[in-house]
C-alpha cells in the first residue's frame, strides 16, 4: 500500500469517526440528541448536583428563544430526576463538565407533560432544540462555598465602584454607608418617624445604572408603588433604604449587587450590577409584621 492510499484510508477513518460523533442518537426513552464534545474522565453530574451550563434554545423555525451567552451568565439548576421520559433533564444526565450536546424535544409532548400552554412563538407539532455546553458540576456544598467566596470578592469590587461614583459626582460628603454596604444620599429632608418592618409604604422611584441610563420608573407608570417593607417583597437594598427615610423625604440609594439582583441577569439588568435608585417616600402607615417571603424585584420594563 503506497503513501497516497494510506492517507486516503486515514481520511476515511477520521471522517467516519467525525460523522459518528455528531450523528443523531436516540435514548431508550425516545430523547433525540447529538454529542459534540464528551470527556469520559470528566466529572459527571449526579442527582442533587448543581449544573452550570450555557444554553441556546430554538424553536422549530430556528428562531432563538433564549441564549445565555448573550445574557452573559450560564444557566444554573439542580439536577433532578427527569420529569418524564425523553425530557431535557434526562439529556443533562448524559453530560459531564466541559461536554456539549444538542437535545431535540417535541414541543407538544414537553408542554403537555409539564402542564403548561403552548407559547405563541412555538408551533404545534414542532421540535425544540437545546444546545448545551456544561461549564461546571458542583455539589450543593461546593456551590454554596463558591457563591460565598464570589460574593465577598464582588462586595469589595462594588464598594470601589460606588466610591468612584460618589467622588465623580461630588456626593461623598453627603453619602451615608450602612454596615451592609448600602449607600444613601439624602436629597430632600422628610419629617417624623421612619417606616419599620411590616409598615405599608407608598414610594416613587426611578432606577438607573451608574452611567445614568434609566431602566425603570414608577413615574412613567403614572402612580407610586405600594408595598409592605420587611416582608421580602423587594430587593434587600430597597428594604433597608426605605426604612432609612422619613415621610416626604427624597434620596438616592446606591445599591451594591449583593443587595440588588446578585450575579444573575434580571431582565435588562446584567449580573453583578451596582444600581442607583432615586427614591421618594410619599407616605406610610403602620402595618402588621409579615412573615418573610421570597424576594421579589421592583417592577421592571
* Burial label, 188 (beta-carbon count in 10 A; 0-12, 13-18, 19+): exposed
Paired residues of 78 in beta bridges: 50
Q: Are strands 75-78 and 176-177 parallel, antiparallel or unpaired?
A: unpaired
- Please give the positions annotated as active site: 205, 215-216, 235, 261, 277
Beta strands at 64-67 and 50-58: parallel, antiparallel or unpaired: antiparallel
Decide the pairing of beta strands 225-228 and 250-255: unpaired
HEC string of 173-217?
Answer: CCCEECCCCCEEEEEECCECCCCCCCCEEEEEEEEEECCCCEEEE
Among residues 111, 134, 132, the alpha carbon closest in space to that of 123 is found at 111
Amino acid at each position: 500500500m503506497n503513501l497516497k492510499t494510506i492517507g486516503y484510508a486515514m481520511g476515511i477513518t477520521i471522517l467516519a469517526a467525525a460523522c459518528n460523533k455528531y450523528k443523531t442518537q436516540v435514548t431508550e426513552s425516545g430523547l433525540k440528541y447529538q454529542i459534540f464534545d464528551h470527556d469520559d474522565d470528566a466529572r459527571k453530574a449526579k442527582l442533587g448536583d448543581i449544573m452550570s451550563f450555557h444554553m441556546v434554545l430554538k424553536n422549530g423555525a430556528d428562531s432563538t428563544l433564549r441564549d445565555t451567552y448573550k445574557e452573559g451568565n450560564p444557566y444554573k439548576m439542580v439536577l433532578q430526576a427527569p420529569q418524564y421520559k425523553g425530557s431535557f433533564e434526562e439529556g443533562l444526565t448524559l453530560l459531564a463538565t466541559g461536554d456539549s450536546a444538542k437535545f431535540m424535544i417535541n414541543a407538544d409532548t414537553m408542554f403537555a407533560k409539564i402542564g403548561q400552554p403552548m407559547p405563541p412563538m412555538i408551533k404545534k407539532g414542532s421540535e425544540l432544540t437545546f444546545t448545551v455546553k456544561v461549564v461546571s458540576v458542583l455539589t450543593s456544598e461546593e456551590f454554596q462555598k463558591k457563591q460565598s467566596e464570589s460574593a465577598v470578592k464582588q462586595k469589595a469590587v462594588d464598594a470601589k465602584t460606588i466610591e468612584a461614583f460618589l467622588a465623580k459626582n461630588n456626593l461623598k460628603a453627603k453619602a451615608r454607608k450602612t454596615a451592609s454596604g448600602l449607600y444613601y444620599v439624602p436629597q430632600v429632608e422628610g419629617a417624623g418617624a421612619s417606616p419599620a418592618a411590616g409598615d405599608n409604604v407608598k414610594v416613587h422611584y426611578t432606577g438607573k445604572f451608574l452611567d445614568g441610563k434609566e431602566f425603570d420608573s414608577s413615574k412613567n407608570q403614572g402612580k407610586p408603588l405600594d408595598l409592605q417593607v420587611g416582608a421580602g417583597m423587594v430587593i434587600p437594598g430597597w428594604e433597608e433604604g426605605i426604612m432609612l427615610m422619613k415621610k416626604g423625604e427624597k434620596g438616592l440609594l446606591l445599591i451594591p449587587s449583593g443587595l440588588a439582583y446578585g450575579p444573575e441577569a434580571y431582565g435588562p439588568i446584567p449580573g453583578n450590577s451596582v444600581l442607583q435608585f432615586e427614591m421618594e417616600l410619599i407616605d406610610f402607615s403602620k402595618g402588621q409584621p409579615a412573615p418573610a417571603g421570597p424576594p421579589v424585584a421592583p417592577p421592571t420594563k
